[in-house]
Amino acid sequence: KQEVTQIPAALSVPEGENLVLNCSFTDSAIYNLQWFRQDPGKGLTSLLLIQSSQREQTSGRLNASLDKSSGRSTLYIAASQPGDSATYLCAVMGVWGKSTFGDGTTLTVKP
Amino acid sequence: DVKVTQSSRYLVKRTGEKVFLECVQDMDHENMFWYRQDPGLGLRLIYFSYDVKMKEKGDIPEGYSVSREKKERFSLILESASTNQTSMYLCASSLFLKGEAFFGQGTRLTVV
C-alpha cells in the first residue's frame, strides 16, 4: 500500500526566502506525481505534474523534482511571497490509476 | 482553463436527509471523482466515474452513491445523512484516468 509523507507539517519563513517542501512515498512504481496548493476552506489548485519519466518541472517561481528510485519529490519555491501562504499537497498516482495524497505542508510567509 | 464547479460552498443538513452534491466540469473530461477531506485523514476517494453511467467504488463508498447521466456532471448522493458525514467534499476531473486532476472549490457539509 502506497504511503505518502510530507515533512514538515508546517513551515514559517520570512518573505523573500527560497524554500523547499518535501514529499516522500514508499512505492516507487508510480505513474506521475502532482503538486497542489490549497487555501483555507477551498479546493485544490494544480501547480505541477511530473510524469514518472521526468526529473523536474518548472512553472514560474516553482520547480518540482522527482527521484523515483529514492521515493522523493521536492517543491522549490523561489523568492517566497505572503501570497504563497497556503497548504501544499503532493499526490502520487500509482500505475493502477489510484492517487494517494500526502497530508500537506502548511506554509506561512511572513511580510 | 479547466473549470470544475461544485454547486454549493456550504451546506447544513439534518440527520436522515437525502443530500445531493453536484459537480460540473467544462473541459469534456472523461473521468470525474468525489473525495472527502478530513483533518488527520487527508483526502479519501469515495467514488469515481470513467464514462457516462459508469462508476467505480473508491476507498470509502459506504453511505454514498453517485450518478453520472451526462459527461459534464457528476453527483454525489448521501442517501441518509449522518453526523459522521460532516466533512469537506471535493470533486475533481481529469482527461485521462492517470492524468492531471483538476479540483472544484469544495463543499463544506455539516450534518446536524
> Amino acid letter at A55?
R
Residue B2 has pLDDT above 80, yes or no: no
Is the pLDDT at B31 greater than 90? The verdict is yes
Cell numbers standing for residue B47: 467514488
Residues of A with CB under 8 A from a CB of B: 31-32, 34, 36, 41-46, 49, 89, 91, 93, 97-99, 101-104
| pLDDT tens-digit readout, A32-78 | 999 999 999 999 999 999 999 999 999 999 999 999 999 999 999 99
Percent of chain A's residues with pLDDT above 70: 100
- The answer to whether the CB of A31 falls within 8 A of the CB of A52 is yes
Q: Grid coordinates in use for A103? A: 497530508
A82 prior amide bond cis, ω within 30: no
Q: Give which of B10, B41, B43, B50 to mutate to test A binding, by max A Cβ within 10 Å.
A: B43
pLDDT interval class at A19 (50, 70, 90): very high
Q: Tens digit of pLDDT for each residue in A22-35?
A: 999 999 999 999 99
Among A25, A31, A51, A99, which would you mutate to test the B interface (most chain B Cβ atoms within 10 Å of its Cβ)?
A99
How far apart (Å, rounded) are the C-alpha atoms in residues A34 and A93?
A: 8
DSSP letter (8 states) at residue A83: G
- Can you tell me the distance from the alpha carbon of A97 to that of A79, in angstroms, rounded to the nearest whole number? 35
Q: How far is B94 from chain A (nearest CA, A)?
A: 12
Residue of B nearest to A51 (CA): B99
**Which residue in chain B has the smallest CA separation from A50?**
B100
Residue B1: pLDDT over 80: no
How confident is the model over B85-110, as a mean pLDDT? 94
Query: B42 and A36 in contact by Cβ < 8 A?
Result: no
Q: Which of B40, B102, B105 sits opposite A46 (nearest CB)?
A: B102
Q: How many CB atoms lie within 10 A of CB B56?
A: 13
Contact yes or no for B103 and A97 at CB 8 A? no
Average pLDDT, chain B: 94
Distance (Å, whole) CA A101 – CA A88? 11
Grid cell 436527509 in the structure block, residue: B17
pLDDT tens-place string over residues B33-61 = 999 999 989 899 999 999 998 999 999 99
Residue of B nearest to A102 (CA): B42
Please give the pLDDT value at position A17: 97
CA-CA distance, B12 to B6, in Å (whole number)?
Answer: 15
| CA nearest neighbour of B39 among A66, A103, A52 | A103
For residue A16, the distance in angstroms to the closest alpha carbon of chain B comes to 29
Cell of residue A71, nine digits: 521515493
